[in-house]
């Protein structure tokens, strides 16, 4: 069974690029007797309790461990942008708008700012290098 997120999500155990999920029951612990319910319950548990020491996305895991509050704000912003959740961080939204006004692609801006701890200067350098 292949399971992945098609909605972008900021989570240590889910690739922010591909949506691939780092969950043992989807890989080496898979058993033919597992049901869709089992898979969904396991995903729900993973979303509620990340495993940053076994990450799918090292950048997200590092932010999760080093700056939990920034991780939460970034995750909320991604939920707003990609899943329609309420606006959570006007400060982060303003940084996105400012870089988009310079002509950068919105998704690229969000990824750059998120991965560079919302530092506009280093995010801009990343955007210019691509």
Domains belonging to the chain, first-starting first, are: 60-129 (1.10.8.10)
Look up the pTM and report it.
0.87
DSSP codes of every residue in 104-130: --HHHHHHHHHHTTT-HHHHHHHHHH-
Q: Which residue numbers are catalytic?
A: 22
Closest CA to 119 of 51, 76, 67, 57: 67
pLDDT tens, 20-63? 998 766 666 667 777 888 889 989 999 999 999 999 999 999 99
* pLDDT (mean) for 51-80: 96
């Amino acid at each position: 069974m292949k399971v992945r997120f098609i909605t972008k999500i900021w989570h240590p155990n889910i690739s922010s690029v591909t949506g691939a999920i780092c969950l043992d029951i989807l890989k080496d612990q898979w058993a033919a007797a597992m049901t869709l319910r089992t898979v969904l319950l396991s995903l729900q548990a993973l979303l509620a309790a990340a495993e940053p020491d076994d990450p799918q996305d090292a950048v997200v895991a590092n932010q999760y461990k080093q700056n939990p509050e920034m991780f939460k704000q970034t995750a909320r912003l991604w939920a707003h942008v990609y899943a329609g959740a309420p606006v959570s961080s006007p400060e982060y939204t303003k940084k996105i708008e400012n870089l988009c006004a310079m002509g950068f692609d919105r998704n690229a801006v969000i990824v750059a700012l998120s991965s560079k701890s919302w530092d506009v200067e280093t995010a801009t350098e990343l955007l210019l290098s691509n």
